[in-house]
Chains A and B, each alone.
Chain A
Amino acid sequence: MKLAVMSCIHGNYEALNAVLSDIDDQNADKIYCLGDLVGYGPHPNAVVEMIRALNIPTCQGCWDEDIVEGLNSCECSYPSVLAERRGKLAHDWTNQVIHPEVREFLAQLPLSLRDDNLCFVHGSPHNQHEYLMPEVDAFVAMERVLATGADVLFCGHTHVPYVRSLDAGHLQIQVKLTGKSEPQDTSFSAPLKRIVNAGSVGEPRHGRPNATYVIYDNDTDQITLREVEYDYQKTCAAILENGLPPIFAWRLARGMEFAERADDPTHVCER
C-alpha cells in the first residue's frame, strides 16, 4: 500500500493542487497530512476546504493551533526579532480572514494519528512546536520515536525533508533506589526506527520554490522524497494582492523560510 504524506501547506493553494496531482500520478492509496494548513500564505480557507473535501486525515500543526488558541510561542518559534514581527503579521492577517467553520475544523484536529506501526505528528510527539531537525541528538531522536510505540515517525514543521534511520540503538539506564546501596543497571536495544520528515508543500526551505512531500510504500518499506514544481508566481502574486508582506513572495520564490526556523536543534520546546 502506498501512502502519501504531506505537511506545512501554509495557505498555498497552488502548491497543494500540484502536490495532489502528483500524488494521483504516483497512484498513492491514501494521503496523510501533518498540519500547518494555514499561516503565511494567501489562501488559508481554500486549503482547508480542499483537505476537508478530500477527507484527508490530518493532525494539528502549530499554526493551526495558534489560529485556534492565539499566539503563545515558546522562544524556539522565532530565531530573531525580525522573524517574530513577520510571524505576528502573518498570524494577524490569517486570523482576520479565516472563516468560522475553518477555525472550528482546525480546533478539532488531533495532535497525532496512528496507522499500524506508523505515527504521524506535526513537530514531535510531545509538541507541535518542537523541531526535530535532522541533526538533533540521536538519543533525543530515538526517545521521540519510542514515545509513540511506532516504528516510523512521520513529522514536518522543519520544512526541510529528510529520512533518518536510527539503528543499533542501545539504551543503558542506571537507577539508584533510596535505601539500596548498589544501583541497578538496565539496558535494552531498540530495533530499527525511522524519522521521516515530509518537508513542506507551501513554504519550502530547501533553496528552491518546489513543493515537497513523501511517498511511503509499506509493502517494500521504501520511502521516496518527492519534489514538485508548481506555478509559485501565482502564489507570489496572491501574496501581494492580499496585502501580505511582499518579502514573503520574494522568499517563497527562492525556497527560503518566511520567518520561522529552529535556531537551536537541540532545544526542547517548553510551550
Chain B
Amino acid sequence: MQLLNITLVAGPPGAGKTTWIRQQINSAAESSVYLSLGSGNTPIDATYLAAEIPGLIVLAGEQLTDFLAHPIAGCAVYLELGFHIDLASLILPDKMADCRRVAVLPPGTRQTEWHGWADLVVTGAEIGAGLSQPHLWRSALPGQVLDSASLNTVWYELTQGAYGTVQRAKGIFDVADGRSLYFDFVAGLAEPTYLELDLPRWLNGRPDRFSGIEVVGEAFDQETLAQTLKDCCLEEQAIAYYQQQIRDSLEPGDEAV
C-alpha cells in the first residue's frame, strides 16, 4: 500500500495556519495538494493559495475520497481544518490514520485541546484576546464587483469594530478595475493588509470566480455588514463603464479575462 504524505493543520483563527502551509509548500521540492475542510462555500484560503502558488493542486472537500483512492504519487498533501471543527469528533478516513498532525498556535498557548491532538506544535502569530462566544459569519459574493473606495471604507469600519468585535476577518473581492483583492485582518496585529491576487483582470462582465468574506467575531451585527457590503457593489451599467475604461488603457500583452 502506498504511504501518503498527509499533514493535517489545525489552530485558532488568525494564528497562521494558511501562512505556515504556504511556507511548507514553497520550501518543498515535490508538488503539493491543498484542501480546506470546513470552509463551505467560502473557500478563501484555497482561492488565495491557488492564486499565489503556481502548480498547487487545490481540492474541494468532496474530492477527498476520490483523491485518497487515487492519490498523486510523491506529492505532499496539506489539509487545513477550520477552527470551528471539533477535533475530538473528527472522523478521518482509514488512509489518513497515520497522517501528521500540526497545530499552529499563538505564542504562550498552554494546555489546549490542540496540544493533546497534535504531533507537532508550531508557534504562530499573536491573535489578541480570545472571544468568550466566537461567532463565525460567512458570505459568498458571486459575480459581485465592488467599488474600491467603498470597500476600503467598509473594511476599515469592520476592523475598527463598527459592526461588533472582530477577531479575524478575511475576504476576496473583485473590484471595478478587474483586480481580485485579498483582505486579511487579525485583531492585535498592527495594520490590516490587502494583497492583489495573481489573477488576470476580469474585464468582461460579472466575474465567474470566487469572491466572499469570512468574519470571526462577537456581538456581531452581520445583517448591517451584509447590507453595507451590498451598498458597495456596482450596478451592471457601472461595471461595464469601468471595465471598458480599463480595457482601453491596457498595454499589449496585459493579461485580462
Known: A246-B224, A247-B228. A80 touches B153 (CB 8 A): yes
Determine the distance from Cα of A81 to Cα of B232 in the docked complex, in whole angstroms.
6
Kindly state whether residue B69 has any CB partner on chain A within 8 Å: no
Does A114 have its Cβ within 8 Å of any Cβ on chain B? no
A246 to B232: give the CA distance in the assembly, Å: 17
Instruction: Name the contact of B150 in the complex, choosing from A83, A247, A251, A263 (C-beta under 8 A).
Output: A83
Give the number of residues in A that approach B within 8 Å (Cβ atoms): 13
Q: B154-184: which residues lie under 8 A (CB-CB) from chain A?
A: 154, 157, 160, 162
Q: A81-B234, A85-B231 are in contact. List 15 more A-B contacts (CB 8 A).
A: A81-B232, A81-B233, A81-B238, A82-B150, A82-B153, A82-B154, A83-B153, A86-B231, A246-B224, A247-B157, A247-B162, A247-B228, A250-B157, A254-B160, A263-B149
| Chain A contacts for B234, CB-based, 8 A | 81
**Chain B interface residue count, Cβ-Cβ cutoff 8 angstroms:** 15
Nearest residue in B to A89 (C-beta to C-beta)?
B231
Bound: A82/B162 CA distance, A = 15
Taking a contact as CB atoms under 8 Å apart, the answer to whether A81 and B157 are in contact is no
Contact: B157 with A80, CB < 8 Å? no
Expressed in whole angstroms, the Cα–Cα distance for A247 and B232 within the complex equals 15
* Interface presence of A79 (CB below 8 A): yes
Bound state CA distance, A6 and B149, in angstroms?
30
Distance to closest chain A CB from B157 (angstroms): 7
Cβ-defined contact, B162 with A81, below 8 A: no
| Number of A-B contacts defined by CB within 8 Å | 37
Shortest CB-to-CB span from A119 to chain B, Å, is 33
| Contact residues, B196-242 vs A (CB, 8 A) | 224, 228, 231-234, 238
Distance between A240 CB and nearest chain B CB, rounded to angstroms: 12
| Contact partners of A251 in chain B: CB under 8 A | 162
Is the CB–CB distance between A81 and B150 below 8 Å?
A: yes
Q: Residues of A contacting B160 with CB < 8 Å?
A: 254
Residues on A with beta carbons closer than 8 Å to the beta carbon of B232: 80-82
Instruction: Check if B147 is an interface residue, CB within 8 A of chain A.
Output: yes
B-facing residues in A231-270 (Cβ within 8 Å)? 246-247, 250-251, 254, 263
Contact of B147 among A82, A86, A246, A250 (CB under 8 A): A82
B167 CB, nearest partner CB in chain A, Å: 19
The 7 A-B pairs at the shortest CB distance, nearest first, are namely A82-B150, A80-B149, A81-B147, A80-B150, A250-B162, A85-B231, A81-B150
CB-CB nearest in chain B for A249 = B162
Residues in chain A near residue B231, CB distance under 8 A: 81-82, 85-86
CB distance from B177 to the nearest CB of A (A): 14
Identify the closest chain A residue to B152 (Cβ): A80
